[in-house]
Amino acid sequence: MGFLSVVASICTPNAYPRFLRTVRWRSCSCAYDVSFDGKLQRQWQGKLHNGAILSLLLRHTTEQNAGRLSLVSSSSDAQLLMTCFGVPAVPDATAGGELEVVDKCTLRGADGGGPIFSSGIAPHLDLLITGHAERELGLWRLRDWTPVPGVDLRGHTGWVRTLAVSNQLMISAACNFIKVWELPVTSDAMTTKSSTIKHLGDLELFKGDVLVSAMDDDCVYAATADGMLHVWTISQAIKNLSVSSTHRRGSVQAHKGRIISLLLHNGVVITAGHDGHIRVWCKSTLQMKAEAVAAHEGSKLHSLASTSAFLFSGGADKFVRVWDPATLTPIGHPVQAHAKGVRSLAATTSASMSPFETECQLHSLNSTVWVVSGDAHGEIILWRFIRK
């Protein structure tokens, strides 16, 4: 997917101009224009950890006609926490009050081992997957937040800094090795204690530790400490997936220095680096399509997150910023609420979009966009993006 046309006009002439965009999405079968403008509104703030936030996951569910936002957070304090917020059925766009914490639990305490660096969700398996300093992966059931025992996911060469999940495969990376795993088809397979996640093999880079990764059913993407972006193609012709069914398709020097965030978004790849730049790349050719130079006014970037229509960035300048993910045009004003640099971000919508829904269908749902940010001292802020 991609953008057929993007029209931008400056609405206010100030240091951070507010932009109003009309975007026609190529994925829509109908002609559908969406105008974007808005701001981030704080909904909850609190200190959950005693160290820098390393990973965040935000998931919206509906139970008994009540909305729930489940936040999974990990930190350098080695804790893995779940915090659940109650969400009104129809949030009031004019109200700024706090959401209520309705449930919380410690999935792993500070005495459980080293930090958890990465996390991901396999929704078709109802699983939370975590990457550990102990060179292994952990599995947790989303329905009750209990660990899944008996599945051996060890053997990494170092800290598992990044992992990514698709419908059939999962990857997890440590140092310059990327492990490729085959996932079971249904969640029923996870009820046994035998290993149901099969290790297919490793992808190896000649140099550069893998810091972030992403994947879909067609390709595996990895970005490294030396600023390189790599892509492998997964052959769909081979039913029994193995590492031999992947081949490296290309690499590009995407940034100067470490790449700290990597997203797949509507047919493009988005990267952010310690050089302070955000760049958008063509998924198939790795040609650069857009960039935001010194996106946080020269400060280091630490994290990106996205929904179907918005890109969010957080950096050492303590700001969270909103962007058009196609053109990297800023949306609204940047917000500063953290006392320390923003280290991690996550975003979701109150109306989740399946892989078969179009952007037209999503916007017709009038979904609420939620964003969570975590800083270097363990403080968390939950935001709602208010569209104007």
pLDDT single digits (tens) 141-181: 999 999 998 888 999 999 999 999 998 899 999 999 999 99
DSSP state of 300: P
Question: For residue 201, what pLDDT is reported?
Answer: 87
Cα angle 140, 145, 146; round to 5? 65
| Longest alpha-carbon distance in the chain | 62
Residue type for position 160: V
Residue length of the chain: 388
pLDDT at 310 over 80: yes
Question: For residue 284, what pLDDT is reported?
Answer: 85
Closest CA to 264 of 214, 225, 327, 312: 214
CATH code at 314?
2.130.10.10
Q: How does DSSP assign 43-59, residue by residue? A: EEEEE--SS-EEEEEEE
> Strand, coil or helix: what is 238?
coil
Question: Which residue(s) pair with 229 in the sheet?
Answer: 223, 252
Where residue 186 falls among pLDDT bands split at 50, 70, 90? confident
Phi-psi region of 135 (alpha: psi -120 to 50; beta: other; left: phi over 0): left
Contact (Cβ atoms closer than 8 angstroms) between residue 26 and residue 356: no
Reported as type and span, the H/E element at residue 364 is helix 359-364
Q: What is the pTM of this model?
A: 0.84
Domain span holding position 136: 3-387
pLDDT average, residue stretch 280-292: 93
pLDDT at 275 over 80: yes
Question: For residue 229, what pLDDT is reported?
Answer: 95
Cβ neighbours for 216, distance < 8 A, ≥ 6 positions apart: 166, 264
Where residue 137 falls among pLDDT bands split at 50, 70, 90? very high
Where residue 96 falls among pLDDT bands split at 50, 70, 90? low
pLDDT average, residue stretch 350-369: 50
> Token digits for 84?
């659940």
pLDDT at 90 over 80: no
Q: pLDDT above 70 covers what percent of the chain?
A: 78
Contact (Cβ atoms closer than 8 angstroms) between residue 304 and residue 312: yes
Task: Average the pLDDT over each of 16-25, 78-87, 169-178, 220-229 and give the range with the smallest value.
Answer: 16-25
Sole residue written with tokens 């290309």: 250
pLDDT average, residue stretch 350-367: 46
What mean pLDDT value characterizes the chain? 82
Closest CA to 119 of 149, 82, 67: 82
Question: For residue 353, what pLDDT is reported?
Answer: 40
pLDDT at 299 over 80: yes
Number of independent structural domains in the chain? 1
Question: For residue 248, what pLDDT is reported?
Answer: 65
pLDDT average, residue stretch 324-342: 93
Cα angle 181, 187, 192; round to 5? 85
pLDDT at 20 over 90: no
Residue 87 to residue 103: CA distance in whole angstroms: 12
Contact (Cβ atoms closer than 8 angstroms) between residue 177 and residue 156: yes
pLDDT single digits (tens) 195-235: 589 898 888 888 889 999 999 988 999 999 999 999 988 87
